[in-house]
A and B are shown apart, each in its own frame.
Chain A
């Protein structure tokens, strides 16, 4: 039995957890938004999780506060119920990262010796932080960080790159100048509310739109990823291009969540066991 505790809405992530569990032969319960639950009465995360841990075998939590998943994991520890972080504020979104990694490996055949471009809101984009952090464990990745100066990657993420073996980064403003060097281009949404002025938003938003014309400068085997939902940062005319990998990412998202839930419930899926023994080269 899976419990999905979604304190903020995320259709895609929640549905992939729930359908994944049902496909594994289990069941799923939970809430989405805090309107109908006791959370709206001010219950702490720890109390809610301790309660739910009495009903469920595994918990997936999405919460706007950073570190909420750690609080939940500790609260459920005594009951022996594993907690999966389904996104905590601007901090981490590790299951999205698993989907990203599965997609990169599907497209590139490896998770090391890659030039990975990340483009858009790199400051608040948690999928970006999780992906960089995780790729650093494999090593030999060159990150090309494309963002406006106001939305650069936080220092702690840059520190992580510096620490990882064979990893390096460059920070640039323009996508056009670097797109030809990339194996992977990870696009993210530039969110309007992050900007100080409307003018600035409009100017930067249009800098980071990927369309067929811009894609023409990219390598024929580059993979375009996006955590979705998108607004306008990838034009729909890119969807038909074989380099578009973002709908593969959606499918992989459910598969990796199935594998993860099966693994934490000590019933690993056949075919995923061997992966576990692979030690990332850049592991610190």
Chain B
């Protein structure tokens, strides 16, 4: 499958196979209003299969949000058809309004105007709600 390369934009590679749309949701990027190409279940020498997200234009990528959903992804910045910069996701200690708490007993579900804050579990790739300590499900 051939997908036209982008001229100026961002390529997120090594996204876990089948999760490209979920990644976009985490990054708060609306596929309906962004010029993008998704390659799903592409062969990968490293992981077997992978997804690739190519976006045209100056699309900001939240590397912390990316780290939560696709910690092994890579981000390449493309200018005039060449890669001019590469970034790795950075796993944050604390994330605000990226993950929503799904615990029905959590105060974030009922109190208005409250940020959804999650903190990282030390030594693990897992996050817990700052309010109720419930672990985020992924």
Q: Could you tell me which A residues sit within 8 Å of B by CB distance?
A: 44-46, 63-68, 70-71, 88-91, 155-156, 159, 163
Contact = CB atoms under 8 A, between A and B. Distances in A.
B89 to A, nearest CB: 24
B106 A66 contact: yes
Given A70-B130, A71-B114, A65 B107 contact: yes
B2 interface: no
Interface of B: 103, 105-114, 121-122, 128-135
A46 B131 contact: no
Contacts of A71: 107, 111, 114, 131
Contact of B112 (A44, A155, A156): A44
Given A46-B111, A67-B106, A91-B132, 6 more contacts: A44-B111, A44-B113, A63-B107, A65-B109, A67-B131, A71-B131
A89 B131 CA distance: 11
A120 to B, nearest CB: 19
Chain B: interface secondary structure? loop
A221 B83 CA distance: 73
Contact of B107 (A67, A90, A156): A67
9 contacts: A45-B107, A65-B106, A66-B105, A66-B132, A67-B130, A68-B107, A68-B111, A70-B130, A156-B134
Top 3 A-B pairs ranked by shortest CB distance?
A: A67-B131, A66-B132, A65-B107
Contacts of A67: 106-108, 129-132
B103 A45 contact: no
Contacts of A159: 121
A155 B135 contact: yes
B103 A66 contact: yes
B18 to A, nearest CB: 26
Nearest to A91: B132
Contacts of A155: 135
A70 B101 CA distance: 15
Given A90-B105, A155-B135, A65 B110 contact: yes
Given A46-B113, A91-B133, A65 B105 contact: yes
A91 B129 CA distance: 12
Nearest to A75: B111
Contact of A89 (B105, B114, B135): B105
B114 to A, nearest CB: 7
A44 B105 CA distance: 16
A95 B103 CA distance: 24
Contacts of B121: 159
A23 B80 CA distance: 76
Contacts of B122: 163
A91 B109 CA distance: 15
Contacts of B131: 66-67, 70-71
A240 to B, nearest CB: 38
A171 to B, nearest CB: 19
Contacts of A89: 105, 132
Nearest to A89: B105
A58 to B, nearest CB: 21
